Structure 1
Amino acid sequence: MPQTVVITGASGGIGRAAAREFARRGDRVGLVARGRTGLEAAAREVRELGGEALVAEADVSDHEAVHTAAEEVERHFGPIDVWVNVAFTSVFAPFTEIGADEFRRVTEVSYLGFVNGTREALARMIPRDRGTIVQVGSALGQRSIPLQSAYCGAKHAVNGFTSSIRTELMHDGSNVHITVVQMPAVNTPQFSWVLSRLPKHPQPVPPIYQPEVAARAVVHAARRPRRKQYYVGASTVGTLLADKVAAGLLDRYLARTGYDSQQTETDVDDDRHANLWAPADGDGSEGGEKGRDYGAHGIFDDSSHDRSAQVWLSQHARLAWSASAALAAAGAAAAVWAARRTT
């Protein structure tokens, strides 16, 4: 049955890919972001894939703008069933080279934007006692890396905030669900529009996954919300495990490799458009590139994976465990048979 879905950050990257995945299910999708060009392109894709689309321009750091967007979606499509918080921005630079206003801006979008979206979703879902909120998180929300202090801080905050909300819903016996999908490095346009003070073009730390891998995980989480969280990509799981068992060693490794691994060998373009203060895909009036649609993918298609075995295993944990148990039992039986043959 089609649902009403709101996605923030829907004009590009994971949000854009998630909008397409929901559209394939015939859902009604409210597309929230700042960039008009990307939003309109996303709306066309949603309609072409069999869904319904509504464009709602809003800066998620502005709680009144998010409220207006939510009201508009419900006027057109009815009650919101799923709310997906994706929108973020960042600065690639050592902390000492990030201005106070820049750090605050990243926090307002990448953390308070999730708070604002969650508030609007809960205001509608709690009285109806149904609905799901999906927070698009990151492995960097549990294991920080150099050059992304503002973003890592915001993602850590999202995890703490979400855990608090989850326990409040549990206390109330609510049927509203909230879950986090922790993402790996993803090939999105952010590396082409993020504000960067690095000498070379920024890149995600390999291995890199295509946004469709992340989007499928988001849709799965919306359909089957896990009480705590989902992990996407073996690199996410491996990083978090390493942080638990050898945090000090991982610190030293990241200090040695974290700068080079987040940069290509290509110099940064002088005319690069950053989206910290205005959308890179706006109407041209605020410094963005008029008429440019960045889409879901970044510039790393050639080195990105379009599948993740770990995602399948995490979504089919019982089946995977049963298969492992069956294989173990078969192996044990074979060993017993072999032992008997030799006696």
Structure 2
Amino acid sequence: MPQQVAVVTGAGAGIGRATARTLARAGCDVALIGRDRARLDDAAAELAGLHIRTVVLCADVADPDAIERAADEVEAALGPITLWVNCAGASVTGQLVALPADEIRRATEVTYLGTVYGTQTALARMRRRGYGTVVNLDALALPRPLRSIESGARAAIRAFTESLRPEILHDGDRIHVALVHLPAINTPRFSWTRNHTGKRLHPSGPVYEPEIAAEAISRAAFGRHRDVWVGLSGVAGWLAGLFAPTLRDRRLSTHAYKAQLEKNAAEADAPDSLFAPVHGAYAAHGRFDTISRKTMPPLVTTTIRTAIGAAVLLAGAGAILSALRRRGHA
């Protein structure tokens, strides 16, 4: 394997910025792609002392031609791309009936199609050499009320990633596609999401620092894990959806609905990043440092989740057989 050249979209802030730092510390040369040049330059300055090469490129991930041009510039400056991480996303929050069609379209294009275009661009180059790694994010491991558009986009990313893997396997390329399932992460996105609720947004469930998400992305890439779940909440949600979907829906309709909104009203003129970047000195962290968790939670890989699911199914089967035996003896 030659020198690792990593591309990170959404690299100016949040998970993308933390991922760029983590990959740079691992020795990768890093290309930072985003919409805000000043923030990208600031992110690149953070990497200056790590003895790696960087390149900064302004591009909108929802524009496939712009992503193609950016990838060409990356390879001209740094060499063949070996790792591509799709961190860019955009969201609009509120009840579906209140959301304008253009905002729904834009949020879906950035989050879902941005991932598709990034993956397509990376694969077009990686397949020439027969190796490489793409990491996609399921940044909303559990569906949330008021976030139906992002939930739909993330579900589409999951299905897209699952459909892509057999294609790569069929062609025999040594290209790895990983999916990282994330809980709530303390990033600036809660401050710049297009918000129709009238209340300030608040993460629900356990909240983790963006460096933890970046570490999970790094492990998924270099450990060649198919899926990585950060913490046990994603696995718990998967099991709840499998065995008790109605109960899960009821809990989401009450607890999760209120947990995402603060009591304070949202600022009427608060900027958001749906159609244009929010300018300012935003970095990886958001405004929830006081409640976010700094220690690494359990990372559940596909193998571990399969074992958990099998154990649950075996336990259920054992309980059923035991009940049948008792009925037979009665």
Give the TM-score of the pair, scaled to structure 1: 0.85
Over the aligned positions, Cα root-mean-square deviation in angstroms equals 1.9
> Which residue matches 1:232?
230
Measure how far apart 1:237 and its partner are.
1.9
> Which residue matches 2:86?
85
Letter in 1 for 2:233: S
> Which residue matches 1:248?
246
Does the 8 Å CA contact 1:103/1:150 hold for their aligned counterparts? yes
CA distance in 1, matches of 2:175, 2:206: 34
CA distance in 2, matches of 1:105, 1:79: 31
Structure 2 portions without partners, runs of 5+? 309-330
1:303 maps to 2:316: no
Measure how far apart 1:26 and its partner are.
2.3
Does the 8 Å CA contact 1:6/1:32 hold for their aligned counterparts? yes
CA distance in 2, matches of 1:241, 1:37: 43
CA distance in 1, matches of 2:273, 2:242: 34
> Which residue matches 1:117?
118
Task: Note the 1:130-169 alignment, pairs <5 A.
Answer: 130-140=131-141, 143-169=142-168
Does the 8 Å CA contact 1:25/1:50 hold for their aligned counterparts? no
Measure how far apart 1:221 and its partner are.
1.1
> Which residue matches 1:75?
76
Measure how far apart 1:138 and its partner are.
2.6
Letter in 1 for 2:22: E
CA distance 1:69–1:302, change in 2 (3 Å): same
1:294 maps to 2:282: yes
Give the TM-score of the pair, scaled to structure 2: 0.89
Task: Note the 1:96-107 alignment, pairs <5 A.
Answer: 96-107=97-108
Task: Note the 1:4-19 alignment, pairs <5 A.
Answer: 4-19=5-20
> Which residue matches 2:197?
198
Does the 8 Å CA contact 2:194/2:274 hold for their aligned counterparts? yes
Measure how far apart 1:171 and its partner are.
1.3
Give the paired residue count.
306
CA distance in 2, matches of 1:136, 1:48: 28
Task: Note the 1:181-196 alignment, pairs <5 A.
Answer: 181-196=180-195
CA distance in 2, matches of 1:50, 1:210: 25
Does the 8 Å CA contact 1:184/1:208 hold for their aligned counterparts? yes
> Which residue matches 1:27?
28
1:276 maps to 2:264: no
Letter in 1 for 2:217: V
Measure how far apart 1:268 and its partner are.
1.1
CA distance in 2, matches of 1:247, 1:38: 42
CA distance 1:241–1:49, change in 2 (3 Å): farther
- 3-state SS in 2 of match to 1:177: strand
CA distance in 2, matches of 1:226, 1:314: 7
Does the 8 Å CA contact 1:20/1:49 hold for their aligned counterparts? no
> Which residue matches 1:341?
none
Percent identity over the alignment is: 42
Measure how far apart 1:263 and its partner are.
1.1
CA distance in 1, matches of 2:243, 2:138: 22
> Which residue matches 2:319?
none
Structure 1 portions without partners, runs of 5+? 282-291, 322-343
